[in-house]
Structure 1
Amino acid sequence: MNRSKWKNLQSELFTNGLGVAALAVLAIFTLGAIFAFLSGYDPNAMDAMARLTKPGAGHLFGTDDYGRDYLSRALYGGRVSLLVGFASMVVATFVGVMVGVISGYFGGWLDNLLMRMLDIIMSIPSFLILLLLSVYLKPSIGNLIIIIALLMWMNVARVVRAETLTIKEREYVLYAKASGQSSFGMIWRHILPGLVPVIIVGATNNIASAIMMESSLSFLGFGVQPPNATWGSMLNSAQGYIAEAPYLALFPGLMILLTVLSFNVLGDILRVGFEPKLIRR
């Protein structure tokens, strides 16, 4: 990637108010998750006498129906949600890039085979895949990452394949191919570097999608199991207390909203930074 693109990227990212705000939000949530132990409370410690305490000086986010400090649970829950989102993105991106590059570069029967397999998998409702996987995989962070990655890699593969088809027809790639470079050398030296902008932008958006999926799965009970918290499981637990203690849904809901929105904003800014000729919204 040339310097001009990096300069465009930096200019878009650090001179855009929304971009700076998105980075600030993600930095705060990430630091909060890393240093969650500084909250001063055990996220799983129950106190029947402090049950459903409203937000105040003693408990900034209040307490839940078991008397557990809600701020500490939100911070530790954010650690799990962000970890699952990032790890799922990495796995989905790796698999999607490999399949997309192989399909787009080699073409022919291999491309047709991989794309038809992709069409078949994508035609199956995600919820059905989720139910099938939940039967064989016990709820855990590792299995949650696998499930989310399996639901996301197909879109990555399609985008990467389309970009690979474009890159492999460029003059410098055709010249390198004519000079006798191996297929592996072509992919490593010419195709993958050209895919970096697409991969980065896609990865940013995929983290947001993964966090939403994690929240949805945890909300439905397929995610990390109690007493451990994630933002989605906190929303699930808050269902029965919306009228009595609305803050139980408000805080994790806001964290999910702000995190997903921030990643989506960064994705849009990165896209414009890598491709400055795009029409700005």
Structure 2
Amino acid sequence: MNQTKWNHLKQELFSSKPGIAALCLLIVLMLGAIFAFLSPYDPNLMNAGKPFSTPDGSHWFGTDDYGRDYFARALYGGRVSLLVGFASMVMATAIGVAVGVISGYFGGWIDSLLMRALDVISSIPSFLVLLLLSVFLKPSVGNIIVIIALLMWMNVARIVRAETMSIKEREYVLYARASGQGAGGMILLHIIPGLIPVIIVGATNNIASAIMMESSLSFLGFGVQPPNATWGSMLNSAQGYIAQAPYLALFPGLLILLTVLSFNVLGDILRVGLEPKLDRR
């Protein structure tokens, strides 16, 4: 990324109040997840004497039906949700970039084969595949990450392919090709660096999608298994107590909403900052 784009990106970010708020919120959430062990409460420790305690100075988010501190469970649940989001994003982005670059750079029958395969995979309802795979695979964080990544790489591949087809026709790439540089060197030295803005924006959107997908999976009971918590599983557990303890659904729901919204806001800012010509006519 050249200095001009970096300066433009910083200008876009720090001139946007929603962008600053989103960045600060994500930093707070990540720090909370990282330092969750500092909480004085064990997230899985049951207390039969304090079920459904409303939020107060001792229990900031109250307690659940088993008397467990809800704030501690939200912190530890954030660890899983954010880990799944980031790890799935990395894996999906890597697969999508590899497929997109190979398809866009080489073209011909390789492009046709990869794109037809991508069309077939994309035509299968993602959530149906997600549920089926979760039934046959043992529930674990690692399996959830792999499953979600395998369902998210297609959009990255399409965008990267289109951008690769554009980059490979630019003068400096044509000159490098004419000088006898091999395909591997062309891709690593010229194509991939030109794709960095597209990759960053796609990765940001993938994090939000992965968190939503993990939350949906956990909400339906196919994600991380009890007593461990994620924001989605907390919502699932809360649905039977909406009238009695609405805060049980409110807090994890807000955390999911704010996290996904923050990533989407940052994604829009990155898109404008890294590709200003597309948004400033």
Q: Check whether TM > 0.5.
A: yes
SS of structure 2 residue aligned to 1:49 = coil
User: Cα offset for 1:196?
Assistant: 0.1
User: Cα offset for 1:69?
Assistant: 0.1
**What residue in structure 2 maps to residue 122 of structure 1?**
122
Distance 2:198 2:170 in 1: 17
The residue type equivalent to 1:163 in the other structure is E
User: Cα offset for 1:235?
Assistant: 0.3
The residue type equivalent to 1:238 in the other structure is A
Distance 1:72 1:133 in 2: 30
**What residue in structure 1 maps to residue 66 of structure 2?**
66
Does 123-132 or 155-164 show the bigger shift?
123-132
Distance 2:136 2:240 in 1: 30
Distance 1:220 1:251 in 2: 18
**What residue in structure 2 maps to residue 267 of structure 1?**
267
User: Cα offset for 1:50?
Assistant: 0.3
**What residue in structure 2 maps to residue 112 of structure 1?**
112
Length-normalised TM-score, structure 1 = 0.98
User: Cα offset for 1:125?
Assistant: 1.1
The 8 Å contact of residues 36 and 72 in structure 2, kept in 1 or not, is answered as: yes
User: Cα offset for 1:81?
Assistant: 0.3
Does 119-128 or 38-47 show the bigger shift?
119-128
Confirm whether residue 16 of structure 1 aligns to residue 26 of structure 2. no
Question: Deviation per CA, 1:106-154, whole angstroms, max 9, x where unpaired?
Answer: 0000000000000011111112312331233111000000111011011
User: Cα offset for 1:199?
Assistant: 0.3
Question: Deviation per CA, 1:183-228, whole angstroms, max 9, x where unpaired?
Answer: 0000000000000000001101110010000000100111100000
The residue type equivalent to 2:263 in the other structure is F
Distance 2:113 2:275 in 1: 32
Confirm whether residue 153 of structure 1 aligns to residue 153 of structure 2. yes
Distance 2:131 2:23 in 1: 35
Does 71-80 or 125-134 show the bigger shift?
125-134
1:187-226 alignment, distance < 5 Å: 187-226=187-226
Question: Deviation per CA, 1:238-259, whole angstroms, max 9, x where unpaired?
Answer: 0000010000000000000000
1:26-65 alignment, distance < 5 Å: 26-65=26-65
SS of structure 2 residue aligned to 1:101 = helix
RMSD value, Cα: 0.9
Distance 2:170 2:124 in 1: 36
Runs ≥4 residues deviating over 3 A: none
Distance 1:72 1:9 in 2: 36
The residue type equivalent to 1:169 in the other structure is E
Q: How many residues align?
A: 280
1:227-238 alignment, distance < 5 Å: 227-238=227-238
Identity %: 78
Question: Deviation per CA, 1:81-112, whole angstroms, max 9, x where unpaired?
Answer: 00000000000000010000000000000000
**What residue in structure 2 maps to residue 162 of structure 1?**
162
Confirm whether residue 99 of structure 1 aligns to residue 93 of structure 2. no
Distance 1:127 1:250 in 2: 25
**What residue in structure 2 maps to residue 184 of structure 1?**
184
The 8 Å contact of residues 135 and 222 in structure 2, kept in 1 or not, is answered as: no
The residue type equivalent to 1:67 in the other structure is G
The residue type equivalent to 2:42 in the other structure is D
Confirm whether residue 258 of structure 1 aligns to residue 272 of structure 2. no
User: Cα offset for 1:37?
Assistant: 1.5
Distance 1:95 1:256 in 2: 26
Q: Unpaired segments of 5 or more residues in structure 1?
A: none
Distance 2:192 2:65 in 1: 51
The residue type equivalent to 2:56 in the other structure is G
Distance 1:278 1:106 in 2: 26
Length-normalised TM-score, structure 2 = 0.98
Distance 2:13 2:191 in 1: 26
User: Cα offset for 1:275?
Assistant: 1.7
